Amino acid sequence: MIATSLSPAECGWETVSFASTLYLCPILDLLLEQIPNKWQPELRLGLQEALVNAAKHGNNLDPSKTVEVQFSVVNGEYWWVISDEGSGFTHGDDQESPEVSLPCDESESGRGMSLLHQIFDKVLWNNQGTEIRLCKQVKHPSKRPLFS
């Protein structure tokens, strides 16, 4: 089940919540409705990665736990705040200048976080590691989509 709500108009935040699942197509479609077409492929990839992390790693795909996504456009920046009900994870303290290269080994560990840093302009976590804030600035003159 997908639940949506609109916050008060002065806030401008929309909320989508859903039971932990990897069936994310309808959720991604909702989250990308207001995004310019040329930015949708890379933002779909980034949001999918963040949602999979929340549902799979955060909530252990427990259908009794939910993932919540808040979305807004603030000063020309697209923001998503994704929260899960998991126990959190430990992330690096230096969120502003993370290592964005892919891991050297063949494991999948770290690849998702690397993708997030390549796709989004800002990637920030809360102290518990249960919430990630993602920002994309699509109107900046020097910005171009990764996928054309």
The secondary structure of 43-101, three-state, reads HHHHHHHHHHHHHHHHCCCCCCCEEEEEEEEECCEEEEEEECCCCCCCCCCCCCCCCCC
Q: What is the pLDDT along the chain (148 residues), one digit of tens a residue?
A: 566 555 444 468 899 999 999 999 999 999 999 898 999 999 999 999 999 999 999 999 999 999 999 999 888 899 999 999 999 887 665 444 444 443 444 455 577 888 999 999 999 999 999 999 999 998 766 566 666 5
**What residue segments make up the domains of the chain, in order of their start?**
1-87+107-135
Q: Which residues contact 140 (CB under 8 A, 6 or more apart)?
A: none
Residue type, 117: H
- Write the class of the CATH domain 1-87+107-135: alpha beta
pTM of the predicted model as reported, rounded to 2 decimal places:
0.81
pLDDT value, residue 98: 45
The Cα diameter of the chain in Å comes to: 47
